[in-house]
Amino acid sequence: MNEKIIDLEKIDLVVLFGSNNRKLYKIREFFPDLKLIARGNTLKVLGNEDQILFFEKKFQSFIDHINHYNRLTLSQIERLIMEDGCLVMENKNDIILHGLDGKLIKARTVNQRKMVSDIYKKDMMFATGPAGTGKTYTAVALAVKALKSKQVKKIILTRPAVESGENLGFLPGDLKEKLDPYMQPLYDALIDMLPSEKLKDYLENGTIQIAPLAFMRGRTLDKAFVILDEAQNATSSQMKMFLTRMGISAKFIITGDESQIDLPLKQKSGLIEARKKLEKLEAISFIYLDEKDVIRHKLVKQIIKAYKN
């Protein structure tokens, strides 16, 4: 382990770290693989050499900002860390699995990294946030990894069959043909991670199952990695039904975007209700992704910000 001592003698520590070290705690969240020890007028940094160099670069930007503006807010800390398009220093622990053609599927933001670490500690996770934050993609990658390492025997991917402005009943074909386009985002993620023949075999033999939420009723899901996607469109009764399907040695991830509810106006979202009822349970992980986690085109971040106002 490498060590670096940073001299803070000429810096106002209250401006830098905040009252009760509030801003220091925030900085630590962005660099979870480093140990940061503030003592007197020094900051000791312990960790990997590359990560320390990355931290020094970012920390100097905090100092420069203070010298120029005599202030440093929590949002400014986040913006300065994000300036080069990278929220966290990458390391080998961020890699979830190797996809097709050697593609590395990995956590690329602080909250995606938290999804990866929390799923090993807790069996149920709620990951909510706007489009483009990688919540579904990361969840599917974690499921495929668990299947490949034989931690589970099957993957079950489900969505509530609620139309967003379109009527499934008017689409041609049988039920599967009607639902396949609706489930396409889940197929897209799997296609990145598994060879086509292997994926086809898994789908045919039931190792991977993709089905509407209503099909979960009456089942007990043992030794399975189960993802409920678009959970904001589950009703209260559907959400309770789904959560109580959890069997032995199962992992559940519930993803959704509370700003994109397609239910009838008088219908309550089961996702919002579940969050309010369950978020105090220590055995369940709640991760809230936002525009800082967007990994699509940079315009997506700006669009999400604009719609929040």
pTM attached to this predicted model: 0.70
User: Within this chain, do residues 219 and 288 fall inside the same structural domain, yes or no?
Assistant: yes
Q: Is the residue at 210 inside a domain?
A: yes
Please say which residue of 54, 82, 110 terminates a domain.
82
Check residue 297 and give its pLDDT: 66
Question: Which amino acid, 255?
Answer: T
**Whether residue 117 is found in the same domain as residue 51:** no
Q: Are residues 168 and 300 in the same domain?
A: yes
Same-domain check for residues 279 and 300: yes
Confidence class of residue 165 from pLDDT cuts 50, 70 and 90?
Answer: very low
Phi, psi of 219 (to 5 degrees): -95, 155
CATH of the domain at 178: 3.40.50.300
Task: Please report whether residue 274 resides in a domain.
Answer: yes
pLDDT band of 265, cuts 50, 70, 90? confident
Residue 174 has pLDDT above 70, yes or no: no
Kindly state the helix (H) or strand (E) to which residue 54 belongs, with its residue range. Answer: helix 49-69
Is the per-residue pLDDT at 102 higher than 80? no
Output the six-digit token pair for 266.
């008088």
Are residues 77 and 109 located together in one domain of the fold?
A: no
Total domains in the chain come to 2
**Same domain for 7 and 133?**
no
Of 82, 107, 130, the last residue of a domain is 82
Domain span at residue 167? 92-308
In a domain, 87, yes or no: no
> CA dihedral in degrees (141, 145, 150, 154; nearest 10)?
10
The reply to whether 78 and 105 lie within a common domain is no
Confidence of residue 42 (pLDDT cuts 50, 70, 90): very high
Whether the pLDDT of residue 299 is over 80: the answer is: no
Q: Are residues 24 and 108 in the same domain?
A: no
Determine, yes or no, domain membership for 66: yes
Q: What is the pLDDT of residue 166?
A: 43
Q: Are 119 and 7 members of one domain?
A: no
pLDDT digits (tens, 9 = 90+) for 137-164: 999 999 999 999 999 999 999 988 765 4
Which of 82, 102, 121 is where one domain is finished?
82
Same domain, 60 and 108: no
* 21, part of any domain: yes
Residue 74 inside a domain? The answer is yes
Please indicate, yes or no, whether residues 199 and 301 belong to a single structural domain of this protein.
yes
If one compares 26 and 307, the residue with the highest pLDDT of the two is 26
Task: Tell me: do 134 and 245 sit in the same domain.
Answer: yes
